Amino acid sequence: MSGLIDARMAELGITLPEAHPPLAAKIQPWARWGELLFISGAVPKLDGKPQFIGKVGREFGLAEGQAAARLSALNMLAHAKTALGGDLDAIKRILKINGFVNATPDFTEIPQVVNGASELFIDLFGEAGQHARTAVGVAVMPFDVAIEVEGIFVVDPAA
């Protein structure tokens, strides 16, 4: 199914990664309740394999952290697309995202790292992509990835 968001991704040269099940946890990648779609924490994966292994502030600088956040957000959208039967236009609002950055204790640009995800949503969804957000630094992440991002979307109830 192709719609406005798919066209916008094509215009920006964005390709979604394939939605893969969680690597270790026995959870669902998404859950839906009415008009709310909850996307489980997504790590930066390509072809089902974790990318950006290491800490922001040691192995990665700010720009690479933002790229990892963007890739995590693309994985979130891949799961949303699956949840919505392929129709990303059914997303009416990105309500909230939470970003967890695997960072060194002295790295303080945590919000700027998570901007890699936030800016992607705004680029794709415009005003509907603006959202509330939490961005925190953590000591360790699953598979030692640089970031994990989760979110809550408002979706068309008919989707």
Phi then psi for 86, rounded to 5 degrees?
A: 90, 0
Quick one: tokens of 108? 């303080």
pTM: 0.95
Domain 4-155 belongs in CATH node 3.30.1330.40: yes
Rounded percentage of the chain residues whose pLDDT exceeds 70:
99
CA atoms within 13 A on the CB side of 70: 15
Angle CA(155)–CA(95)–CA(89) in degrees, nearest 5? 35
**pLDDT digits 0-9 by tens, 39-97:** 999 999 999 899 999 999 999 999 999 999 999 999 999 999 999 999 999 999 999 99
pLDDT of 2: 72
Question: For the residues 22-50, what does the mean pLDDT come to?
Answer: 92
Q: What are the sequence ranges of the domains in the chain?
A: 4-155
pLDDT grade for 159, boundaries at 50, 70 and 90: confident
pLDDT at 1 over 60: no
How distant, in Å, are the alpha carbons of 13, 27, 96, 118, 126 from that of 131? 23, 25, 5, 8, 11
